[in-house]
Structures are given as C-alpha cells and as structure tokens.
Amino acid sequence: MTLVHAVTQKMKNLLLALLLTFPVCAAAQAISTSDPEVAQLLALVELTKVDGRTMAKVPMALILQLALERSQTLKASRQAQGAAQQALTVAKLRNPWTITSSASFSRSAALTSSYLTGKKNNTITLGSGLSKRTDSGVNYGLDYSETRSQSAIIERTKQGGDFTAGSFGDWLDSNSLSASVSVPLFKDGGSEYNTLSERRAEVGVTKMQWGTRQTESTLLQQIGSTYWDLVGILETVEVRKQAVSLSEKLLRDNQARLEAGMLSTMDVQETEIQLLRDRQSLLSARIDALKVEDQVRAILSLNELPVGLYPEDSPAIRNTELDRATLLKKAESNDSQLAQLQADLRLKQYDMVDALNADRTDFDLGFSYTLKGYGENFFSGLGDFAKTDLHGFGASLTWTVPLGGSAPEKIQQRQLERQQLELQISSRKLELDMTLQSLLRSLRLGRKEQQTALSVVKLSEQQRRNEVERFRIGRSTSFQVSQRQQEEAFAKQQEIFTRVQFEKTNLQLLVLTGDLYARYDLPKP
C-alpha cells in the first residue's frame, strides 16, 4: 500500500482543500526529494514558515497513519502474522484423500509333501487404493487388486534327483475389490482430538494478531506522546520569544532612562544580562524542539524529508464524562497481554485433551467387505463381482489397555498449568483496573491543575504589568521587573505542561481502551 492510499479519504479531502486555499503550498513543488513517498507527502500538506524554516503542518491523525504505514518494526510483526496464517492453512488441509498404487512380479516354486512334484508360478500383481481419515477418527479404505498368474508342473523321479519342468500354462486373472472401515471408539476418536492441530494453529494466528496489535499500540503511543512533546516545546519556544521581546523592550527603556540620568549603569547591565539569559533559554528551547522533531522523523522513517515538521493540533483540556465500567470492558477486550494469556489457556485445554486421549483404552472396531472375480484376461473377472457366493466380509475388535505410564502425571501437570494461567488472567484484569483508575484520576487532577495554571498565568501577567508601572514611576527596579517577567514565563510554561500532560494521559487512555483508532479514523488491526 502506498502512502497516498494509506491516508484516509477524509484526510485527503482536508489536505487537498488546504492546497487550494493556501498559496504557500505551491512551495512544495520547488522542494525536491529522492523518496517518492516523501514527495507524495509533500504534495498533500500545507507548508509554512516558522523562524525562517520551511515546515510541513501535520495533524496528529496523519502522523499516526504514517507510523502505521512506515514502521519497520510493525512490518516485521505483520510478516510473522502472515507465517502463522500460512501454518493455519496447512493445518486445515489435514486428512486428505490418499491414493496408493503398486505393481509387482514374482516367480516362485514349491513342492508337495512328497517332495517329488510341485508347481512353479509366475505372478503379476497390480494394486490401487483410496483412503481417508475423517475428523472423527474413522478411517475409510477402498482397495482394488489385479493378480495374473501362470504355473508349470515340476517333478523328479526320486528325492535328491534332478527336476524336470513342464511348460507354463495360460495366464489366469483374479480381481479383488475390498471396502473397509475402522472406528476408534475411545482413544484417537472424536473431533475434539482429531482437530487439535487446526485449533492450535488458530490460537497461533490469534496470538500473532494480538502481538501485532501490541506492537501497533506501543508504536502509536510512542509517536503520539512524542507529537505532544513537540507541540509543547514549540509553544515553549513562543513563550521564550515573548520573554526575549519583553527583555529587549525593558533594555531599550532602561537605556533611555540612563541617558536621561534616571537610571544607573548597573541597572542597565542587569537588564542586558537578563536579556542574554532569555536568548540562551530561547536557543535551548529551539534545540530541544529539533531533537524532538528528529525523534518523530526516526519513528516515521522520514529522514529524507527536506522540510521541518510542525504539529497542527493544539493540546487542550476537555471536560468529558467517562464511565469507568464501560472503559474497563473496553480495556479488557483490547488488551493484548490479556488476550494472549487467554489464548495460552486454550492451548493448555488442548494439551489436556491430548493427555486424556493418551490415557484412554485403545478400543477399535473394524469392518471389511470384499468382492472377488476370476477370468483369463485383465479385468475379465469383474463380472463375478455380482456373484454373492464370491463375496466375503470380516469384522475385528482390537482392545489395548495401557498399564502404568506417565499419562496421569501429565494430566495433573496440565491442570496445574491451567490454574496458574487463570490466576495470571485474574491478576492482569486487576492490573488493568488499577491502570484505568490511575488514568482517570490523573485526568480529573489535570483539569484542576489547568484551572490553577490559568489563574497563575493571569495573575503573573497582571503582576508583571503592575511592576512595569511601578518601575515607570520610580517605585520599583529593573531587577524586580525582570523577576516578574521570569515568573510570567514560568507560569506560561507550567500551563503548557499541564495541557500537554493531559493530552498524553488521554492518549494512554485511548490506547488502553482501543478508542484511538476511532478517534483518529485509523484502520484497526
């Protein structure tokens, strides 16, 4: 699947609309790349300028879609899933119809009890058979044989003397058609035992599917969390730029006051030092943003992308009513670890079936019916098949009782293993419930932290303005103004942090419940 096909139709329409609306997108045509998929991506996104860099505006949905399509780890997991599916296909082809054919020639000689006369025989035998074993363990067979023979009399005058042999007579033909059925009444009987290979293969496919889903969940949470980190650091860059602007304005004002004799040189120097600190903080934030962006590129295998990545989504705090019981059911049905434990439990149940079968009495019932015919040529005896006097039938009963062995110990071992898995399943369900409670609690606290952070930002802005006014009328110092500016910047950074953390926590919840796919219109595994 190409990258263009990977993007959902909804996303295509949105991005194409942006291409028509914003002329800046035409710049994408001037950017070249050797990767055709990257070129297709550039044709779908809006380009913008941020701090002199050309940036591709990417929403979270597109980033998640790209992760699903370009992750090498995920591709390897899907290939392993395909191998498991192939094993299931092979298991379903069990018990095919089997055809056997044979041909033989023999020459033999034997004497009668007097050791003076006997016969020499030439025999040609052709045979063919058709057999099948059903899922219930019953074996059906149909066998046909064609035997042609000729004989010559041999004799000698006395014991120990030389033989004289007559000439061979005409070839004679005998035909045989036999139908048989063998029914295992206890051991090896029943579909529960004879379909174990297919059911084990089905469990193998299920485990690989959930393994792939676990890989997807880990990948989506990783790239989603990194995306919000990038959003947060870019918003922090803007806060740092505002701080630099405020420090630059304060420096200009202080230099004017210095020329007017209203301020000392030391005060101006303190303002210059604070400006340098703010610029250093801005540079550090920009470097951090590049590092996080590189992480996104690495996860998406987009090292060849000639432009930067600019996240289009903004972190926000939402007041959403969440029902714990409903979410817990979703989490349990979506959890890969729990699903794989349940799959292992089914395998242990199949092992129990195998162990119980090994301990059963081998009690087999067999029936056969044979048609005979005789003639001078090939197939000439087939007409005798209708003559009931030449028909034969048989019945057999085979009874084998195991004495001793390790079957009881194996059964006990399988029971203990099942109990252990059942405990692990219960423990995993409790763990999911605890994780869910923790996430819901974090979301509730996140809303309260956001409210507090917004209040702090408003108060910090007001205190900074008040301090500037006090400084203007000579009732404060430039140092105090700088302090208020730093407090405002710190408050804004904390507010950004609370929103980003809320989004990352909500992302964890969406991954836990499996709602991430519906939220961002992603194809489910």
Q: 106 and 178: one domain?
A: yes
Residue 86 has pLDDT above 70, yes or no: yes
What's the whole-number mean pLDDT along residues 222-233? 96
Confidence of residue 34 (pLDDT cuts 50, 70, 90): low
Q: 147 and 207: one domain?
A: no
Cα dihedral 69, 71, 76, 81, rounded to 10, equals: -50
Q: Is 261 left (phi over 0), alpha (psi -120 to 50) or beta?
A: left
- Give a yes or no: residue 86 inside a domain: no
Q: 395 and 450: one domain?
A: no
What's the whole-number mean pLDDT along residues 300-324? 85
Confidence of residue 32 (pLDDT cuts 50, 70, 90): low
Q: 206 and 318: one domain?
A: yes
CA-atom Rg of the chain in angstroms: 43
- Give a yes or no: residue 346 inside a domain: no
Is-contact 478 250, C-beta < 8 A? yes
Q: Is 52 left (phi over 0), alpha (psi -120 to 50) or beta?
A: left
How far apart (Å, rounded) are the C-alpha atoms in residues 267 and 263? 7
Residue 146: which of 385, 367, 366 has the closest Cα?
385
State which H helix or E strand residue 235 sits in: helix 196-259
As given in the structure block, the two tokens for residue 257 are: 């006051």
Question: Which residues are CB-contacts of 325 (< 8 A; sequence separation ≥ 6)?
Answer: none
- Give a yes or no: residue 420 inside a domain: no
- Give a yes or no: residue 412 inside a domain: no
As given in the structure block, the two tokens for residue 517 are: 């796919």
State which H helix or E strand residue 422 sits in: helix 407-472
Q: 433 and 369: one domain?
A: no
What 462-469 contacts at long range (C-beta under 8 Å, 24+ apart), as own/partner pairs, is: 463/487, 463/488, 464/246, 464/488
Q: 393 and 458: one domain?
A: no
- Mean predicted lDDT score pLDDT of the chain: 86
Instruction: Give the other-Cβ count within 10 Å of 49's Cβ.
Output: 12
Q: 111 and 141: one domain?
A: yes
What pLDDT score was predicted for residue 31? 64
In tens, the pLDDT along 171-193 reads: 889 899 999 999 898 888 888 88
- Give a yes or no: residue 23 inside a domain: yes
What's the whole-number mean pLDDT along residues 468-497? 91
Q: 73 and 213: one domain?
A: yes
Q: What global pTM score does this model have?
A: 0.76
Question: Which residues are CB-contacts of 186 (< 8 A; sequence separation ≥ 6)?
Answer: 360, 361, 362, 363
Q: 144 and 259: one domain?
A: no
Instruction: Give the other-Cβ count within 10 Å of 444's Cβ.
Output: 11
Asked which of 384, 400, 416 is the last residue of a domain, the reply is 400
Q: What amino acid occupies position 203? A: V
Residue 258: CATH number of its domain: 1.20.1600.10
In tens, the pLDDT along 240-287 reads: 999 999 999 989 988 988 888 888 888 889 889 999 999 999 999 999
What's the whole-number mean pLDDT along residues 189-214? 87
Give the count of domains, the chain: 2
Secondary structure, 3-state, 469-489: HHHHCCCCCHHHHHHHHHHHH
Q: 168 and 34: one domain?
A: no
Residue 117 has pLDDT above 80, yes or no: yes
- Give a yes or no: residue 250 inside a domain: yes
CA neighbours closer than 13 Å in the CB half-sphere of residue 281: 21
How far apart (Å, rounded) are the C-alpha atoms in residues 140 and 366? 10
In tens, the pLDDT along 127-139 reads: 999 999 888 889 9
One DSSP character per residue, 280-341 reads: HHHHHHHHHHHHHHHHHHHHHT-TT--SEEEE------------HHHHHHHHHHH-HHHHHH
How far apart (Å, rounded) are the C-alpha atoms in residues 48 and 152? 105
- Calculate the alpha carbon distances from 132 to 98, 365, 390 in Å: 6, 16, 27
What pLDDT score was predicted for residue 406? 66
Across 39-116, the runs of DSSP E, i.e. the strands, are 46-50, 53-58, 98-111
- Give a yes or no: residue 306 inside a domain: yes
- Give a yes or no: residue 411 inside a domain: no
Q: 259 and 137: one domain?
A: no
Question: Burial level of 154, CB count in 10 A (0-12/13-18/19+)?
Answer: middle
How far apart (Å, rounded) are the C-alpha atoms in residues 81 and 207? 9
Q: 228 and 303: one domain?
A: yes
Domain that holds residue 167: 97-189+363-400
In tens, the pLDDT along 339-369 reads: 999 999 999 898 888 888 877 888 889 999 9
What's the whole-number mean pLDDT along residues 58-86? 87
Q: Which residue has the tokens 């903080």?
A: 281
- The one-character DSSP state at 522 is P
